[in-house]
Amino acid sequence: MQIIRHDRQGYPDSVAEQESLVAQVLCEEAKSTLILTEHPPLYTIGTSGRESDVLSRQVDGESIAVYPSGRGGEVTYHGPGQLICYVIADLRNDQDLHRHVHRLEEMAIRTLADFGIHAARDPRGIGVWVEGKKIAAVGVRCRKWITFHGIALNINPNLRHFSGIVPCGMSDAPVTSMRALGSNASRDEVEQSIRQHSAIFTNENSSYA
């Protein structure tokens, strides 16, 4: 899997990059890609989201931009201290979007385990949870069985910024981060683990499947 890394990237630029890669994969000009990036503070509204779930665009002294997003899911937050993992994957030979989402979650679960954090799925919704609090949000889009968008893992974001939205449409689903759980892991350390566990998307015989 090709890996592209950005220190920080504006959301429109990120979407444009993903759209370009999807087109290249469809034309057999590129292979599956993992993009590791970070965004300035912003809220995105997924295809199931509502504008009313954005409660405030001014939070903790910062102005937070709002973007409509073609991904699945509802409203979520992105910002500094959060590792964004966009996966452009070719599912034309494995047309199972649920399995793809499961793999995104598993990649984060295995990564968190490397830092002593026991994370799991929760019947309340898609994503990765620790003791009833969401630590990673998932939202994907699929075009002709090429996926894009992905998962956002909270390393050390400003958790107060989540108060400006109803996260993922659930007012009773508080969020957490690796730092809030006592981990001082750096983004570089987390990326190293993510890169290792991204093998889930290319190894058909992997135990992750």
Tokens at residue 121, please? 């799925």
Active site residue 168: yes
Residue that the structure tokens 């504008």 belong to? 51
Q: How far apart are CA 209 and CA 204, in angstroms?
A: 7
Spot the catalytic one: 27, 85, 142, 168: 168
Q: Which residues pair with 90 in a beta bridge?
A: 146
The three-class DSSP label of residue 150 is strand
Beta strands in the chain (DSSP E): 2-5, 33-37, 42-45, 58-59, 62-63, 65-68, 75-78, 82-90, 120-122, 125-130, 133-143, 146-154
Cα–Cα–Cα angle for 19, 98, 157, nearest 5°?
Answer: 65
CB-CB neighbours of 26 under 10 Å: 15
| Residues that are catalytic | 168
